[in-house]
Amino acid sequence: MPILDRPVIVLCALLYLAAMVAVGVWAARRTRSARDFFIAGQGIGLLVTGLATMSAAFSGFVFLGGPGLAYRLGVASLFVVLSVSFTSGLLCWTVGKRLRLLAEVREVYTVPDAIAARFRSRWASGLAAGAVLAGTVAYLGAQLQALGIVLQAIFGEALRPGWLPGEWGLPLAMVLGVALVLAYAVAGGMVAGVYTDLFQGLLMAATGVAVFVCAVVAAGGPGRIVSSIAASDQFGARFLDPLGTVPVATAFGFFFVFSVGVLGQPQMLHKFYMLDDPRKLKWMPAVIAVSQSLCVLIWLGVGLAVPALVAQGRLAPLADPDRAAPELLLGFAPEAVAGLAFAGVLAAIMSTADSLVNIASAALVRDLPRAFGRPVENELRWGRWAVAGVAVAAALFAWSYGDLIALLGTFAFGTFAAGLAPALAVGLNWRRVTPGAAVASIATGTGLNLGLELGGRWGWLPEGLLPEGVLASAVALAASFSVLLVWSWLFGSADGDALEEDVAAVMEM
């Protein structure tokens, strides 16, 4: 259906984009220092920090990639996302509290800053910055791919000039997405991100609920959805079985990576520095878990309703599963709900993209130069330039990866997880962890994840290197934890003699 026949959807999208640009310009005037740019001046309350953490974590991955993965894998795909029920508690308990307390005693803006403070090792902080950069390029690539699909769905052929072949529609939309993200993030940095995150988080949660209800109603209710899927040749009863479409190793690999790996996600961890009072962490898990669970409804609702609609013959089978959510919204949702939902999806993508480019620019102009002993003089100015390079690299990477948003997102999530989770979660709680253990763990996790995933995908590794269904990210994460624990046990001292007094005090609390 030509999108211009659905003016409310276009209007909602345009209003949302205009509001975001306005906030970016407004925030640019309030961004006066690197501290403002990177951690929003450390003056943000519980609700905004909680929703900012949620909206940084949930993105095009959940809103478009989730339904896409569900269309391909069925109920098994939920292993990726159901752990949101407890991951926020785990995060606050093991890492969030320590990071926020560290910000009381040190000038820490980034995850590599925390690694540097804990281990007093340039190698550890430099490798952490490298892991952050690698994961960010992949994660931002997933956001740009999602943004391209949404912009295509909203504006359709109106985006593509007539002389350009049809297959260039998505790349062109991604280029437009890069421009949007840059306009938004370069200007305002984290101030822009955080001040819009309250609005974006609420919009995302509302979208999750509205689209879930709409999807279930459109497909005839829960009973009909299940019976349609179970009776269809294309999907069948196995689609509804948690282990029906994937090996056990894949299903529980997803669960392991996404439940433990949350401890190494810089786009979430970064937010803990911004909280104005550490005692407000008390209700942080509740805010994050409830808001994330509302967003998960879109994965569940669209992920089951679209296959049901296909099974009922009311929707053509999808050539590209990532278009499940746009197809449902454009074909079956009331225009107002579709408009809200597209704005919500844009909010999910933009808020995460903003956090990611901010983190990547910090890694490039702050963490890596400091690790090499050559700090940059004007981090704010160079940070804005770095954003542009990272966004272009991310778009090119997503284009070359060429798979579902959720699979690209899983790879990115796994890169952060395997590289950073052990050094942070164990390192900030166990004095015996040595700088050498942190370096070995970060190098092992990052190297294994990149090598196994990209080597396997691009044919550089022998076939059958990993048993069928085993996720590269799960192997890398397990190896990273093992290296850290064994190294610390063998070479660490119980009193953690490398610790400085203030860091030791933070770890004792």
Say whether residue 240 binds another protein (CB under 8 A): yes
User: Which one among 285, 301, 321, 422 touches another protein, defined by CB under 8 A?
Assistant: 285
Residue placing its CB nearer to another protein in the complex, 241 or 320: 241
User: Which one among 21, 28, 43, 85 touches another protein, defined by CB under 8 A?
Assistant: 85
Angle between helices 111-119 and 97-105 (to 10 degrees): 70
Say whether residue 83 binds another protein (CB under 8 A): yes
Say whether residue 276 binds another protein (CB under 8 A): no
- Give the CA dihedral 29, 30, 33, 37, nearest 10 degrees: -100
**118: Cα separation from own chain's centroid:** 25
Instruction: Choose the binding region for another protein from 86-94, 306-314, 405-413, 486-494 (rule: CB under 8 A).
Output: 86-94
User: Which one among 43, 89, 220, 451 touches another protein, defined by CB under 8 A?
Assistant: 89
Say whether residue 468 binds another protein (CB under 8 A): no
User: Which one among 56, 75, 144, 311 touches another protein, defined by CB under 8 A?
Assistant: 75
Q: Which residues pair with 44 in a beta bridge?
A: 275
CA pseudo-torsion sign 488, 491, 495, 498:
negative
- As a whole number of angstroms, the distance between CA 262 and CA 448 comes to 18
CB of 293 to another protein, least distance (A): 6
Nearest to 365 by CA among 140, 44, 113: 113
CB of 115 to another protein, least distance (A): 17
Q: Site for another protein (CB under 8 A): how many residues? A: 51
CB of 241 to another protein, least distance (A): 5
- As a whole number of angstroms, the distance between CA 191 and CA 79 comes to 34
**Is the distance from CB of 58 to CB of 287 less than 8 angstroms?**
no
Contacting residues for 377 by C-beta, under 8 A, at least 6 apart? none
Residue listed under structure tokens 């952050």: 132
Q: Which residues pair with 275 in a beta bridge?
A: 44
Say whether residue 230 binds another protein (CB under 8 A): yes
Q: Which residues pair with 206 in a beta bridge?
A: none
CB of 303 to another protein, least distance (A): 12
Q: By CB under 8 A, what part of segment 21-40 binds another protein?
A: 35
User: Which one among 169, 247, 278, 451 touches another protein, defined by CB under 8 A?
Assistant: 278
Read off the tokens for 493. 């001292």
CA pseudo-torsion sign 371, 373, 379, 383:
negative
Contact residues for another protein, defined by CB under 8 A:
35, 75, 78-79, 82-86, 88-90, 92-93, 97, 101, 103-107, 222-223, 226-227, 230, 237, 240-244, 248, 252, 255, 278-279, 281-283, 285-286, 289-290, 293, 296, 501-502, 505-506, 509
